[in-house]
A and B are shown apart, each in its own frame.
Chain A
Amino acid sequence: MQVPAKFEYERADSVPHALQLLERYGPEARIVAGGHSLIPMMKLRLAQPEALIDINGLASELGRIAVEGDELAIGALVRHAELLDDVTATDLFPIFRDAERVIADPIVRHRGTVGGSLCQGDPSEDLSAVFAALRATAVIQGPGGTRTVPVRQFHQGPYETAVEPNELLIQLRVPITPGTGSAYEKVERRVGDWPVAAAGAVITVSDGVIAQAGIGLTAVGAEHFCAPEAEQHLIGRAPGEEVFAEAGRIAAEHCEPHSDQRGPADYKRHLAAELTRRALARANRNVPGSATV
């Protein structure tokens, strides 16, 4: 069996302690939580961190899901299974239920964390698209205190995020807007696989027209996992199949998918349109109080 190379191991007992450890070990240290992205990479020896800083003990600080004012706060250490099981979160944002049911598999979801998924920065990662659609804010803590970064600026390239080597992602904050519906649509080769393509949609309907729209796309080369041109098209229009289809077409135009064994680029571009359309339609259907389109 593949096994990791040697590394130093430290267990953080608080966020400040984790930050101290990051400071002490420098840029060759990595934070580990669920480990389901990092440990396989270490077994393949594609990642060889000198030290792992284990934050699994920080559940009381980083493992909570709560409504705080007009935001839903999700701790970075929340496990996928916990988010899926959290009725408050999934009722407010059905997109979480949709997405979490198709992220990896039930056993992996017991370990994998929300923060870890985002910090891995994989261009095919699901929650990156979900939080981009939701226009969430990432809360990052470093030696100088906390700062916030809009999720749409969190990813700075494949496997690159806004989190500096001496910082820790601690929370995601999702704005709660009344009259909002959301949904996630994913095509995978098999259950548990990474997406061939996936789209998340969040729309707020007010007075019969779309007041706000968020579209998140993953695995299709969408910059920052979002589709601003398509969102713009939706604003001020009445929700409907033709509008959603057009938004899908626009979203697809602005993607830059690459061919791989999950599928050729043209197919992924097609999916960007098709899944955006489907996600928007379902998001619209679950806008509270909406009449079914």
Chain B
Amino acid sequence: MSYGRMHRKEDARFIRGRGNYTDDVRLPGMLYGAILRSPHAHARIVSIDTSAAEAHPKVKAVITGQTLAGLGLAWMPTLSQDTQAVLATDKVRFQGQEVAFAVAEDPYSARDALELIDVEYDPLDAVIDARKAMDPGAPVIRDDLEGRAGNHIFDWEAGDRARTDAIFEQAEVTVAQDMLYPRVHPAPLETCGAVADFDKVTGKLTVWCPTQAPHAHRTLYAMVAGLPEHKIRVISPDIGGGFGGKVGIYPGYVCAIVGSIVTGRPVKWMEDRSENLMSTAFARDYHMRGEIAATRDGKIQAIRVKVLADHGAFNGTAQPTKFPAGFFHVFSGSYDLEAAHCEVTGVYTNKAPGGVAYACSFRVTEAVYLVERMVDVLAAELNIDPAEVRMRNLLKPEQFPYLSPTGWEYDSGDYPKALRLAMDMAGYDKLRAEQADKRARGELMGIGISFFTEAVGAGPRKHMDILGLGMADGAELRVHPTGKAVLRVSCQTQGQGHETTFAQIVGQELGIPADDVEVVHGDTDQTPFGLGTYGSRSTPVSGAATAIVARKVRDRAKIVAAAMLEASPDDLEWADGKWSVVGDPSTGKSMAEIALAAHSNLELPEGVEGHLDAVTVYNPPNLTYPFGAYICVVDVDPGTGQVKVRRFVAVDDCGVRINPMIVEGQIHGGLADGVGMALMQVMAFDEDGNHLGASFMDYLLPTAIECPAWELGETVTPSPTHPIGAKGVGESATVGSPAAVVNAVVDALRPYGVRHADMPLTPANVWRVINGDPFRTDLAIP
């Protein structure tokens, strides 16, 4: 058995400081680039004077939008059929937008060169508040797009409007709540960057860059730069965290490539932290209104949602073509509803482009937050315990596979069991009793529940693509003559431990130790095509591909073993990691023995080639639907508004767990993320479009002090559509936890009649909520 807790193979290099991240890449003759960015949110570029920078003795090139326009590279496609400026030519559309790229002999001189570039801007009124983006007379941000007279991008809807509306009209009880899921940034500790090396002689371009999707990058570079795809090699070395922020292609990558083509030398560009926070993929920024129709005894009948989505200046979100709001469909949650309907409107604003990033990139996080907040609003309205409201409405195990009111087929689950386990672990009744005592004494304690269902593992290629590329992933497996194996996969770890987990899958399927399996990833010249790691899709898609390719190898091994045993393959069975004649374990042939035979002079049956390898492409038949029940306990200081997360209980069901240690680590990280988003992380903008969270001094991430000791529990409901029953877990905790924290804080504030408070629940925000005067968290605090 290869499944189970196992130390990570990756750790040996990381604990010695021997990881190899993009900034660790050093090539002979390498130059260094730096980007000059716009100080304005919206301004016309009058002129750019690069002469002083070019005169700097260590500067090798200064590239502007004009330079790129000459090469046809000033604009590039986004992952959502929009275009984005690589370097601005006409005007800048967000603070921090890329304007010029200086290349110098050392990184310090490249930075110095930026101060020597003189740009004259003609400032324009900016659209900062998404709620005003479609006002008549609002400045038009994308006047580069033909026929655009406003800032509207798309309207999209899901569910049955007529049926939903009809239920609302008849309902005994309805509740409504406006809420904001503010703009946040994944902020991996390694920023983005690239090393580009264009070899003029061979015409080959090699790009090192921390990308979660190396193959998608290669294809896009071929499309953008017009370079032949077989002459592009993308290498994604060790990545210092991604969380979705390293899916997209950023202008800096293209600049590094152009810099290398122009100078004939390798060019490295690494963004600094402010650049990272100001210009790379943010997430969320959903202004939502949720409504629930229910019976007086708390049976939820329908949910209705309206969303205004702030996509920034370029629509850079990475969604399947059919789904501009991703998988927001899951806003109907984990509940047995009669009907649901949502409509989403996307708008441009003068803020950084994106929406691609931050587990979960497919808008599942927003959907789960919405429904879990709304259930608590309903519970408060009906004065029923929020756990009880959930118990009355959760889907029952016998309802699976369950067709949701928005048309998605939830694969499997036992929801009440997970919630009961979480309540038992938390000691729910005791906590409520303690809360009552404290309330009597004027102390504020809150208990928050969140029950989430995720939709991950995108996805069936018929429905899901990125820029027309279907979301299927390949895997190749070779077993060498001595029985050691090499697996090549298209996804790319950013810390999830693929080198260990995927080796365990192969080990499990072939009956060899995981230590005997090397996992190759992150290099387009070395791995099969696939769309990479995001949306918790590695185990659901590449993990499935791995299991299937291993089974193909095992099937081929069976034929070889049959030849070795001079038996018919039909007479063999797979037992204890060996092929043996049915009923005679003494005949068992191990994978190592079979591999050696497969490479030997053994005569194989007609039509069977030698060697022991296989290739596959996995096209998922359905998404997978991990779920979980979270309970958060907070204490709130009424005098200061400070929130302390005292406990956090998380019961996750992600199907079969390959390496429980790694799964738990994934959950821990996601829970910390949730606490961070709920309590401190936000990117607000002032009315001029100045980014008010452009460094780690102002964009606050949780430390070990804010995080409690996580209490984890598990249930296991295998996915019926996944070859090994796994569902994926990378984003579960990030998706599920913010609502639990917010629900806990709102619960604590019930004595003040509070029904809702927007994230982040900073001390100031909580105090103002207590005083009935909350401020908008997406704008400057007035």
Contact yes or no, B764 A262, CB < 8 A: yes
Q: Is B39 an interface residue (CB 8 A)?
A: no
Contact yes or no, A191 B270, CB < 8 A: no
Contact yes or no, A261 B272, CB < 8 A: no
Binds A, one of B107-115, B259-267, B356-364, B576-584: B107-115
How many angstroms between the C-alpha atoms of A261 and B692 in the bound complex? 7
Partner of B703, one of A1, A190, A262, A274: A190
Contact yes or no, A263 B640, CB < 8 A: no
Contact yes or no, B767 A267, CB < 8 A: yes
> Contacts of A274 on B, CB cut-off 8 Å?
639-640
> Contacts of B112 on A, CB cut-off 8 Å?
5-6
Contact yes or no, A263 B703, CB < 8 A: no
Binds A, one of B469-477, B734-742, B774-782: B774-782
A261 and B111 in contact, given A190-B702, A193-B700, A270-B767 (Cβ under 8 angstroms): no
Looking across the interface, which residue of chain A has its beta carbon closest to that of B777? A261
Contact yes or no, A191 B703, CB < 8 A: yes
A189 and B270 in contact, given A3-B108, A261-B692, A274-B639 (Cβ under 8 angstroms): no
Interface residues of B in 739-782 (CB under 8 A from A): 762-764, 767-768, 775, 780-782
How many angstroms between the C-alpha atoms of A52 and B685 in the bound complex? 35
Partner of A261, one of B642, B706, B781: B781
Q: Is A84 an interface residue (CB 8 A)?
A: no
Q: Chain A's nearest CB lies how many Å from the CB of B98?
A: 16
A2 and B763 in contact, given A190-B680, A261-B684 (Cβ under 8 angstroms): no
How many angstroms between the C-alpha atoms of A1 and B639 in the bound complex? 40
Contact yes or no, A190 B700, CB < 8 A: yes
A259 and B703 in contact, given A45-B115, A189-B762 (Cβ under 8 angstroms): no
How many angstroms between the C-alpha atoms of A86 and B115 in the bound complex? 45
Looking across the interface, which residue of chain A has its beta carbon closest to that of B701? A190
Partner of B111, one of A3, A189, A267, A270: A3
Can you list, as one digit per residue, whether each of B246-268 has a CB less than 8 Å from chain A (1) or not (0)?
A: 00000000000000000000000
Looking across the interface, which residue of chain A has its beta carbon closest to that of B704? A191
Interface residues of A in 266-293 (CB under 8 A from B): 267, 270-271, 274-275, 278
Contact yes or no, A261 B693, CB < 8 A: yes
Q: Is A196 an interface residue (CB 8 A)?
A: yes
Contact yes or no, B781 A260, CB < 8 A: yes
> Contacts of B762 on A, CB cut-off 8 Å?
189, 263
How many angstroms between the C-alpha atoms of A196 and B763 in the bound complex? 9
Looking across the interface, which residue of chain B has its beta carbon closest to that of A197? B640
Can you list, as one digit per residue, whether each of A1-43 has a CB less than 8 Å from chain B (1) or not (0)?
A: 1110110000000000000000000000000000000000000
> Contacts of B767 on A, CB cut-off 8 Å?
263, 267, 270
Partner of B781, one of A1, A2, A264: A264
A1 and B272 in contact, given A45-B115, A274-B639 (Cβ under 8 angstroms): yes
Q: Which of A2, A6, A45 has the most CB of B within 10 A?
A: A2
How many angstroms between the C-alpha atoms of A192 and B706 in the bound complex? 11
How many angstroms between the C-alpha atoms of A261 and B680 in the bound complex? 11
Number of interface residues of A (CB under 8 A): 27
Q: Is A187 an interface residue (CB 8 A)?
A: yes
Can you list, as one digit per residue, whether each of B369-399 has a CB less than 8 Å from chain A (1) or not (0)?
A: 0000000000000000000000000000000
How many angstroms between the C-alpha atoms of A202 and B705 in the bound complex? 28
> Contacts of A196 on B, CB cut-off 8 Å?
763-764
How many angstroms between the C-alpha atoms of A6 and B109 in the bound complex? 10
How many angstroms between the C-alpha atoms of A3 and B781 in the bound complex? 31
> Contacts of B641 on A, CB cut-off 8 Å?
187, 267
Contact yes or no, A261 B768, CB < 8 A: no
How many angstroms between the C-alpha atoms of A260 and B692 in the bound complex? 9
How many angstroms between the C-alpha atoms of A50 and B405 in the bound complex? 67
How many angstroms between the C-alpha atoms of A271 and B637 in the bound complex? 12
Interface size class of B (residues with CB under 8 A): 20 to 34
> Contacts of B115 on A, CB cut-off 8 Å?
5, 45
Looking across the interface, which residue of chain B has its beta carbon closest to that of A48? B115
Interface residues of B in 384-421 (CB under 8 A from A): none
Partner of A187, one of B107, B642, B698, B700: B642
Looking across the interface, which residue of chain B has its beta carbon closest to that of A260? B781
> Contacts of A6 on B, CB cut-off 8 Å?
112
> Contacts of A45 on B, CB cut-off 8 Å?
115
Q: Is B274 an interface residue (CB 8 A)?
A: yes
How many angstroms between the C-alpha atoms of A74 and B650 in the bound complex? 48
Contact yes or no, B763 A264, CB < 8 A: no
Interface residues of B in 278-301 (CB under 8 A from A): none
A191 and B272 in contact, given A260-B781, A264-B775 (Cβ under 8 angstroms): no
Looking across the interface, which residue of chain A has its beta carbon closest to that of B699? A261
Contact yes or no, A263 B107, CB < 8 A: no
Partner of B763, one of A5, A189, A260: A189
Contact yes or no, A3 B706, CB < 8 A: no
How many angstroms between the C-alpha atoms of A132 and B220 in the bound complex? 60
Partner of A189, one of B639, B680, B692: B680
Contact yes or no, A263 B763, CB < 8 A: yes
How many angstroms between the C-alpha atoms of A264 and B640 in the bound complex? 13
Contact yes or no, B764 A267, CB < 8 A: yes
> Contacts of A187 on B, CB cut-off 8 Å?
640-642, 763
> Contacts of B764 on A, CB cut-off 8 Å?
196, 262-264, 267
How many angstroms between the C-alpha atoms of A237 and B585 in the bound complex? 93
Q: Which of A5, A6, A190, A271 has the most CB of B within 10 A?
A: A190
Partner of B270, one of A1, A261, A264: A1
A259 and B782 in contact, given A3-B108, A5-B112, A267-B768 (Cβ under 8 angstroms): yes
Can you list, as one digit per residue, whether each of A239-254 has a CB less than 8 Å from chain B (1) or not (0)?
A: 0000000000000000
How many angstroms between the C-alpha atoms of A259 and B768 in the bound complex? 13
Contact yes or no, A2 B274, CB < 8 A: yes
> Contacts of B702 on A, CB cut-off 8 Å?
190
Q: Chain B's nearest CB lies how many Å from the CB of A261?
A: 5
How many angstroms between the C-alpha atoms of A5 and B111 in the bound complex? 9
Looking across the interface, which residue of chain B has its beta carbon closest to that of A270? B767
How many angstroms between the C-alpha atoms of A193 and B706 in the bound complex? 13
How many angstroms between the C-alpha atoms of A262 and B272 in the bound complex? 24
Interface residues of B in 641-685 (CB under 8 A from A): 641-642, 679-680, 684
Q: Chain A's nearest CB lies how many Å from the CB of B27?
A: 19
How many angstroms between the C-alpha atoms of A57 and B284 in the bound complex? 50
> Contacts of B700 on A, CB cut-off 8 Å?
189-190, 193
Contact yes or no, A261 B780, CB < 8 A: yes
How many angstroms between the C-alpha atoms of A188 and B782 in the bound complex? 19
How many angstroms between the C-alpha atoms of A196 and B767 in the bound complex? 13
Contact yes or no, A2 B111, CB < 8 A: yes
Q: Chain B's nearest CB lies how many Å from the CB of A237?
A: 22
> Contacts of B108 on A, CB cut-off 8 Å?
3
Looking across the interface, which residue of chain A has its beta carbon closest to that of B642? A187
How many angstroms between the C-alpha atoms of A2 and B191 in the bound complex? 12
Looking across the interface, which residue of chain A has its beta carbon closest to that of B106? A3
How many angstroms between the C-alpha atoms of A191 and B768 in the bound complex? 21
Contact yes or no, B693 A191, CB < 8 A: no
How many angstroms between the C-alpha atoms of A85 and B702 in the bound complex? 26
How many angstroms between the C-alpha atoms of A194 and B695 in the bound complex? 14
How many angstroms between the C-alpha atoms of A263 and B641 in the bound complex? 11
Looking across the interface, which residue of chain A has its beta carbon closest to that of B767? A267
Looking across the interface, which residue of chain B has its beta carbon closest to that of A192? B703
How many angstroms between the C-alpha atoms of A192 and B115 in the bound complex? 32
Looking across the interface, which residue of chain B has its beta carbon closest to that of A191? B705
> Contacts of B768 on A, CB cut-off 8 Å?
264, 267
Task: Enumerate 26 A-B pairs (CB-CB under 8 Å) in ascending A order.
Answer: A1-B270, A1-B272, A3-B108, A5-B112, A187-B640, A187-B641, A189-B680, A189-B700, A189-B763, A190-B700, A190-B706, A192-B703, A196-B763, A196-B764, A259-B781, A261-B693, A261-B698, A261-B781, A262-B764, A263-B763, A263-B781, A264-B764, A264-B775, A264-B781, A267-B763, A271-B640
A2-B273, A191-B705, A261-B698 given; name 9 further pairs at CB < 8 Å. Answer: A1-B273, A187-B763, A190-B702, A196-B764, A259-B780, A263-B762, A263-B781, A267-B764, A267-B768
Question: Which residues of chain A have a CB within 8 Å of any CB of chain B?
Answer: 1-3, 5-6, 45, 105, 187, 189-194, 196, 259-264, 267, 270-271, 274-275, 278
7 closest cross-chain pairs (CB), A and B = A263-B764, A191-B705, A190-B700, A267-B764, A274-B639, A2-B272, A187-B640
